[in-house]
Amino acid sequence: MRVLLKLTLDAPVDAVWRAIRSPAVLREVITPWLDFASLEDGGLPTTWPEGRHRLRALAFRRVPAGEEVVDISYPTSIPSGVRMLRDGGGAVTGPLAAFSEWDHRMAVSPLPGGRTLYRDRLLASSGAPVLDAALWYPTWLFWQWRGARLRALAPTWSFDPPGTADAVDASAGAAEGDDAGAGADPGASGAAPTTGRTETAA
């Protein structure tokens, strides 16, 4: 079974790349149909590291729906300018454990005008063609929901939320600029502070 998405997102590629590697953004993209909670001692990371991470799936954000494994890698044998995240994990128990094979890849590349080309490919199989055919349509519908959520959320990723490394670096740079200009004309205009919506976070 193969499910594809190809979207133009209204956000810079750096912001989209940061977002699709964020477990918090993923939770926001799949709501209200699904949610998950970490089964690891350290909880959910801020950004997916390479390797395996055990999760509990929650249908409608409340009902336990089995255990899953996210198995993250960042392929490097890809065209210049493209960044890719791959999840080769899958469900261990619950309804989604019907899939015995799971290969989900998300790739981003820059477009003119500060936008991003987002491509998404899921290859999954239960090992039974009849069951795959039955599972394809609900999986396709869910992927369309994900695409709609990505489009809606992408413009909010253009800003550095408070507390992120980027925002801290920007604040430090602004402070240095203020110190350097301490003797300047007090009527001179300065840069406006960066504001934006916090990534509660594909």
Q: CA geometry: angle at 93 spanning 89 and 94, to 5°?
A: 110
CATH 3.40.50.300 assigned to 2-158: no
pLDDT digits (tens, 9 = 90+) for 90-139: 999 998 899 999 999 999 999 999 999 999 999 999 999 999 999 999 99
Alpha-carbon separation of residue 91 from 10, 59, 97, 100 (angstroms): 32, 13, 5, 8
Domain locations in the chain as residue ranges: 2-158
pLDDT digits (tens, 9 = 90+) for 39-91: 999 899 999 999 999 999 999 988 889 999 999 999 999 999 999 999 999 99
The strand pairing partners of 36, in sequence order, are 57
User: Residue 190: CA atoms inside 13 Å, Cβ hemisphere, count?
Assistant: 17
Single pTM value for the model: 0.76
Encoding tokens for residue 41? 């001692």
Alpha-carbon separation of residue 60 from 34, 119, 143 (angstroms): 5, 26, 16
